[in-house]
Amino acid sequence: MKIIKHANIFSPAPLGIKDILIEGEKIIRIADHIDEYDAIDEVEKIDAEGRTVVPGYLDIHEHITGGGGEGGPTTRVPESQLSTIVGAGVTTVVGLLGTDGISRSLENLLEKTKSYNELGITCFMLTGSYGLPTVTLTGDIERDVMLFSQIIGVKTSMSDHRSSNMTGEELIRVATASRRGGLLAGKAGFTTIHMGDGPAKLDPLFYAVEHADVPITKYLPTHMTRNPDLFEDGIRFMKMGGYIDITAGETLEENRETADMLVHAFQEAGYDNMSMTSDGYGSMPKFNEKKELIGLTYSTPRSLHQLLKVLVQEKNVPLEEGLKLLTTTPAFLINMKGIKGTIAAGADADIIIYDEDMNVDTVYARGKAAVVNKEVFLKGKFE
């Protein structure tokens, strides 16, 4: 049992200065003062000293087994490291495959997902890949989602020269299978759609929404800030009641440009229908006009907090609104509202304490110290 005292809580809604009582992996109580345990040495006390305390971040699009490969075997991105994930304030991750659905297998992804849960964060995964018919563990999307506790949906791709050039009808079949599996297993059963630069933009998705009965909230197109025209399609989709996901940039300058796009979207469609992910350990290829690879790098989850800081400190977005991108909205999308992405009684004890300049200072993942005073304690077995 532990108590975080004198915490300036953003749940993400601002709650003011309060104490947080944690037992095991859960938040038990939040109150102005929790003093009855002060004389009990066995209860750990952490004094937040009035600093800002927020929910642990959810990164629901991360290539935890590595991505890349668009330039051949030497361009394969290395697997993720747990220390980097928690050091960035991320306590819940959804892993998925990238362009390579052959040498990067779902079997490997499943074992990596299991390992992260054993080590102390919360980790799920998506079945599927860029190609059609998509790769699965059982030979069927619906069976994967229903039978594996770690699998909560499917990943596919659209409007990208690396993708399968999916049609609206094909998207309907993929999303229906994921949705049905989710219903049978009591899971989200959503469909993440990698978006490229193709001229079709969201046209196949608009077709699917108009010609099938899969709820609009079960589609999640991602990388939506890839270009202005695609982003405008995304704003239209949000106004219809859908959700979009944006990818944090690789550099501070890119995140400033992305932040400007987000502020525009907030003005057009509000703060509630957008999530933010890192695309961590996935490749960031650069292609010329002939679709030839001319450069390749990769991102990490650190980009998430940098973009959030830009939104709050440079673009004057209220912290409680910016936090939704990394907390309550992704928690809703993965069907974990009230459990993840919030500081509340009954929620998992995933908590970040900021320093005075809004940097990630201390992180608790499921109630255990992952980072303390910027020193990472939660690491993989072989880090």
Cα(153)–Cα(128) distance, integer angstroms: 9
Q: Kindly name the residue from 279, 348, 350, 361 that is annotated as catalytic.
A: 279
Tokens describing residue 223: 């990388």
Is pTM, for the whole model, over 0.85? yes
Residue 286 has pLDDT above 90, yes or no: no
Cα(80)–Cα(64) distance, integer angstroms: 5
Q: Quickly state the pLDDT bin for 365 (edges 50, 70, 90).
A: very high
**Domains of the chain from N-terminus onward:** 2-54+341-376 (2.30.40.10), 56-333 (3.20.20.140)
Cα(94)–Cα(111) distance, integer angstroms: 13
- Using an 8 Å Cβ cutoff, are 27 and 258 in contact? no
> Cα dist. 56→73, 271, 287, 296, 297 in Å?
35, 19, 35, 30, 27
**Helices and strands, counts by H and E, the chain:** 10, 19
- Using an 8 Å Cβ cutoff, are 181 and 214 in contact? no
pLDDT given at position 144: 98
The per-residue pLDDT for range 205-228, each reduced to its tens digit, is: 999 999 999 999 999 999 999 999
Pairing of strands 151-158, 122-128: parallel
Residue 279 among the catalytic residues? yes
Q: Quickly state the pLDDT bin for 250 (edges 50, 70, 90).
A: confident
Taking the CA atoms of 361, 367, 369 and 371 in sequence, report the sign of the dihedral they define: negative
- In 143-250 the beta strands, taken as DSSP E runs, fall at 151-158, 190-195, 219-222, 244-247
Q: Quickly state the pLDDT bin for 164 (edges 50, 70, 90).
A: confident
pLDDT given at position 296: 67
Q: Quickly state the pLDDT bin for 163 (edges 50, 70, 90).
A: confident
Neighbours of 181 (CB within 10 A): 25
Q: Quickly state the pLDDT bin for 161 (edges 50, 70, 90).
A: confident
The per-residue pLDDT for range 300-320, each reduced to its tens digit, is: 999 999 999 999 999 999 999
Span 346-362, mean pLDDT? 98
